[in-house]
Chain A
Amino acid sequence: VLKLLAQRLGLGLITLWAASVLIFFSTALLPGDFASAMLGQAATAENTAAIRTSLGLDKPLLQRYTDWLGGALHGDFGTSLASHRPVMDEIKPRLLNTFFLALYAAVVAVPLSVFLGVMAAIRQGSIFDRAVNVGALTSISVPEFFLGYVLIMFLGVHYRVFPVLSAVNPAMPFGTRLYFAFMPMITLVLVIMAHMMRMTRASVLQVMASPYIEMAYLKGLPKWRVVVQHALPNALAPIVNVIALNLAYLVVGVVVVEKVFVYPGMGQMLVDAVSKRNIPVVLACGLIFAVVFILLNILADVLSIMSNPRLRHPR
C-alpha cells in the first residue's frame, strides 16, 4: 500500500507541475494586465507604466515563471499586486473560510446522502424511495443561486430565522459561525446530495443482485443487516469516488453560493484576482485548487482499493 501511495503522490506532483504551467501561461494569454485592469478607464500611459515597472510586469514571461516557481518551491508565493501583502497571508483567512464551509456541508451531506441512499435501496420502489429521488433531482436541477434565493426568501426575509448575510469573521465564536454559515451550507448540501445519494442507491442495488446476497437472505438475516453488512461494503468503491468529486466541488466550485450569501471564501477572491489580473493570487489559488483536487482523487483511489480485497492483494 505504501508503494502505491508513493506512486500516486509522485504522479500527483507531476500533475501539479503541469497544472502550474497551464495556469501560468494561460493567465498570460489574458488581454491586459494588472496595471491596466486596476486603472480601468482611468489609465494613462504614464501611470500604467509606473505601476508596471514597480511590480516587475515588464520582465520577460519565462523569467517571471521561473522566478515564481522558485519562490513557490520554497513556500513563497510572492506578494499580491494590489495590497503588497504576501499572497499566503491574504489567502489564508479565505482559505480557512472555504474549508470551514466545505467541511460543514460535507459533515451534513455525506452521512445524510449515504443514509438516504441506503434507505432508498432497502425500500426500492416505495413511496419513500420515490420521494427522496424526486426531491434530490429537483434540488440538483435548479441552479444553486436560485436555491439560495428561495432559502433567503423564506428563512431570511419572511421568517427571519437565519441571517441573509453570511459574512463570517475570524472573531466569531464557533457556534455563531455555524449559525451564520447555515444557509450557504444547506444550499450546498442540496446541490451535492443528489449525486451521492443516487450513486449509493444504484451501487447498493447492483450488489444486491449478486448471489451471495441471496445467500445472506437464505441464512435468515433481516434486510437491513444484509444491506449494511454485506452489500454496502462491497458497493463502497464507486460511492467513495463520487464523494471525493463532490468534496472537491465544495472547495473549488462554490463561487456563486459565496456571492449570493456574501460569504468571504476563495471563489470570490479568485474571481476578483482574475478580473484585476492579480496574477500571484490567481496562481496561488489555482495551485491550491489543484492540490485539493489531486489529493482528494488520490484519497478516493486509495480508499476504493483498500475497500476491495481483490485490489488490495493483487495477484
Chain B
Amino acid sequence: MNNWDELQKAARTGKLTRREFLGRAAALGVTTSLASGAMATMSFAADAPKKGGTLRLGLAGGSTTDSMDVRTYTDSFMMNVGAAIMNATIEIDPDNNPIPSLFESWDTKPGAAEWVFKVKQGVTFHNGKTLDADDIVYSFNLHRGKDTKSSAAVYLAGVDDIKATDKHEVTFTLKEGDADLLYSLSDYHFLVVPKDFNDWSKPIGTGAFKYDAYEPGVSARVVRNENYWNPGRGNVDVAEYTCINDTAARMNALVAGQVDLIHRVDTSTIDLIKAVPNLQLIQKAGGYHAIYAMRCDMPPFDNADLRRAVKYAVDRDQLLKALFNGYGVIGNDTQIPPTDPFYNTELEQYKYDPDKAKFYLKKSGVTKITAPLSASDAAFNGAVDAALLFQANAKAAGVDFPLKKEPADGFWDNVWLKVPFCESYWGGRPCATMMMTVAMASTAAWNETGWKVPAFDKLLSDAKKEIDHEKRKQMIWELQRMTHDDGGAVVPAFKSWVDAADKKVKNYQPYSLYDLCNTRVAEMVWIDEA
C-alpha cells in the first residue's frame, strides 16, 4: 500500500480505520487538508455498518400511474424502490466507473463486439431460486424485440444476441462494437428477475430488500433480505418510501423529522436545511443539464456562424444562478459534463462576449432572427424565466430573437423536435459515447439540434469500438471539439444533485451519475442514532 490511490481505495472499501488512514497518508507526504477532504467520502473500518432500524425516504418522482414493472420506470420513486428489491448486472460507482454487481467479471476482444460475462455464483432470489445465466438473459430480453414496451429498448438496440453460454456465463453479441457496453447495461431499467417471472404486483429479485407493500404514487415498503449476497450493504431492517412530489412538503417533512432523507432539495430555500444542526447535505455535480437547441437543419440556424454568435451571447454564470441557484457548474455546449472521465479539458470555454457575438453575427449575414425560442416550464423548472434572462442578455450582445411561451401540456409532442429553437433538458448519461449516441449522432431519434455530420458519426463509431484507453480518449476529445465548435446545442449549466438527510444516516455518499447514491441509497446507508 504505497501509493495514494491504493490507500484511498483501501479506505473506501473499509479496510482501514480512520487513524490508520491518516497515519499512512502522512507517511506518504499527503497534506492533511487533502487527506481530510478525501475522508469525507470514505467509510472506515471503525465506522462499520450498523444493522437495524427503519429508514424513511421522502422521494419525488412518483405518480399514481406508476407500476413495479421495470419496463415502465421513468422517475426516481420507482427507480429507487425497484433497485432496493432487484439488482443490476453492473453498477456505477461515485466517480462514474462501472463496477461488478450480478456480473462479477467480464472480458471482450478488440473491436468490442463480443462480450463474455461471468455471473456471480451463490446468489438466491427472494423465492429461493438460485440465480443463473438464464434469469439474466430473460431479464434483458424483457427490453428487446419488436413489440417491447420498454423505454430502455434503445440501449439494447445495438445488441444482436444475448445467450447463456454456460450455467454462469452470458455472452452479448453486438451489431457493432461498443467499448462502453458496461454503461448501457447499468441502466436503471435492467434489473434482474427470475426466468419467466411476470407477476409485477409482487416483484421478486436478488436485492437487499424484499417486497412488502406498495401503493402507486403514495408509498412503498420493503424489508431486509437476510440472505443478501453483498456484504456490508442492506443494513436497515425496513425502508419506507413516501412519495412527496411537492418540494416544500418534502423539505418540511425532513425538517419536522418525519422522513430521514430527501432528494431534489429546493436550492432557493436550502438555508432552511443549513440552519438545522442535525441535517446534512449531500451534493455532487452530475450530467443533468438544461439546453437551448438550435436546429441546424432549419433556417436561420443552418448557419454555423449564427450558432457561434448565439453561443457567445449566453451569460452562463448568470444562468447557472438563475437555473440552479449556483448549485452546479457552467457548461461548454458539448453536453458532456466535467465529471465525465473523458471530459475534454482543453476546449475554449465559451464566455459572454458581446464583441465576438457581434462579430459572428455580422459574419453570418443574418440581419434579423425571426425564429422564436420556444420556452416552456415542461422543459425544466423555471425554464420560462431562464429564457427571458437568456433573451435579455443576448439582446444586449446584439443577438436579438423573439420568445414564444408554449403550454407545458403536450410540449414534447407538439413543440420539441419540431421548431427551430427550443428549450429542453437531458438527465445525462453515464458516459460520453452514450450521450453522443442518443443526442448527437445523425441517426439518433432525439437529435434535437438536427446536427448531422458524417465525420462525427464515423469517429463516434470508431471510438466506440476502440478498447485502448489513450486512443479512445483522443477520439472522444475530438468528438467534443466538433460539437463545441459547430453543434447547435447551447448548454448553459450542469446541475448538482442535492440530497439532504438526518445526520444519523451514515455512509451517504454523493454520486455524480444520479442522486440517492445512484438509486441504491436504501442499501448503502445505515442508521446510527448516537
Q: How extensive is the interface on chain A, given as a class?
A: 35 or more
Report if A264-B151 is in contact (Cβ < 8 Å); known contacts: A259-B245, A259-B246.
no
Report if A47-B153 is in contact (Cβ < 8 Å); known contacts: A40-B74, A164-B253, A260-B248.
yes
- Which residue from B219, B244, B409 sits with its C-beta under 8 Å from A275? B409
CA distance A51 to B410 in the complex (A): 18
By a CB distance below 8 angstroms, the chain A residues around B424 are 41
By a CB distance below 8 angstroms, the chain A residues around B154 are 42, 44
Residues in B240-255 with C-beta less than 8 Å from chain A:
242-246, 248-249, 252-253, 255
Residues in A32-50 with C-beta less than 8 Å from chain B:
32, 36, 38-47, 50
Residue pairs across A and B with CB atoms within 8 Å: the count is 129
Is A152 within 8 A of B252, CB to CB? yes
By a CB distance below 8 angstroms, the chain A residues around B215 are 93, 169, 264
CA distance A30 to B408 in the complex (A): 12
By a CB distance below 8 angstroms, the chain A residues around B325 are none
Interface residue? B121 (CB, 8 A): no
**Minimal beta-carbon separation of B79 from chain A (angstroms):** 13
Contact with A along B213-232 (1 / 0, CB 8 A): 00111110000000000000
- Of the stretches A125-133, A214-222, A265-273, the one at the interface is A265-273
Contact with B along A45-82 (1 / 0, CB 8 A): 11100110110000000000000000000000000111
- Of the stretches B18-26, B65-73, B173-181, the one at the interface is B65-73
Contact with B along A154-193 (1 / 0, CB 8 A): 0011001001110101000000000000000000000000
Contact with B along A248-288 (1 / 0, CB 8 A): 00000000000111101000110011011010010000000
By a CB distance below 8 angstroms, the chain B residues around A84 are 67
By a CB distance below 8 angstroms, the chain A residues around B67 are 82-84
CA distance A42 to B217 in the complex (A): 21
Residues in A67-110 with C-beta less than 8 Å from chain B:
80-84, 90, 93-94
CA distance A164 to B252 in the complex (A): 7
CA distance A80 to B217 in the complex (A): 14
CA distance A108 to B450 in the complex (A): 60
**Minimal beta-carbon separation of B268 from chain A (angstroms):** 15
Complex: chain A residue closest to B151, CB-CB: A42
**Minimal beta-carbon separation of A147 from chain B (angstroms):** 13
Interface residue? A149 (CB, 8 A): yes
Is A40 within 8 A of B412, CB to CB? yes
CA distance A164 to B149 in the complex (A): 38
- Which residue from B256, B412, B416 sits with its C-beta under 8 Å from A164? B256
**Minimal beta-carbon separation of A81 from chain B (angstroms):** 8
Is A32 within 8 A of B249, CB to CB? no
Is B256 within 8 A of A156, CB to CB? yes
**Minimal beta-carbon separation of B191 from chain A (angstroms):** 17
**Minimal beta-carbon separation of B335 from chain A (angstroms):** 14
Contact with A along B388-414 (1 / 0, CB 8 A): 000000000000000000000110111
Is B63 within 8 A of A47, CB to CB? no
Is A157 within 8 A of B252, CB to CB? yes
Is A278 within 8 A of B150, CB to CB? no
Interface residue? B146 (CB, 8 A): yes
By a CB distance below 8 angstroms, the chain A residues around B252 are 152, 156-157, 164
Is A269 within 8 A of B64, CB to CB? yes
Is B217 within 8 A of A268, CB to CB? yes
Residues in B28-56 with C-beta less than 8 Å from chain A:
none
By a CB distance below 8 angstroms, the chain A residues around B253 are 164-165, 262
Is A264 within 8 A of B153, CB to CB? no
Is A38 within 8 A of B72, CB to CB? yes
CA distance A146 to B445 in the complex (A): 43
- Which residue from B65, B259, B446 sits with its C-beta under 8 Å from A41? B446
By a CB distance below 8 angstroms, the chain B residues around A163 are 256, 258
Is A167 within 8 A of B256, CB to CB? no
Interface residue? B147 (CB, 8 A): yes
**Minimal beta-carbon separation of B190 from chain A (angstroms):** 14
Residues in B440-455 with C-beta less than 8 Å from chain A:
445-446
Complex: chain B residue closest to A152, CB-CB: B252
Interface residue? B13 (CB, 8 A): no
CA distance A268 to B424 in the complex (A): 26
By a CB distance below 8 angstroms, the chain A residues around B370 are none
By a CB distance below 8 angstroms, the chain B residues around A314 are none
* Chain A interface (Cβ < 8 Å from any Cβ of B): 30-32, 36, 38-47, 50-51, 53-54, 80-84, 90, 93-94, 149, 152, 156-157, 160, 163-165, 167, 169, 259-262, 264, 268-269, 272-273, 275-276, 278, 281
A-B contact sample (20 more), CB < 8 A, given A46-B146, A152-B249: A30-B409, A32-B412, A36-B413, A41-B424, A43-B412, A46-B153, A50-B148, A51-B149, A81-B65, A82-B72, A83-B65, A83-B216, A90-B64, A157-B256, A160-B256, A163-B258, A261-B249, A262-B242, A264-B215, A269-B217
* Interchain Cβ contacts under 8 Å between A and B, 6 examples: A40-B74, A46-B153, A165-B258, A259-B246, A262-B253, A272-B63
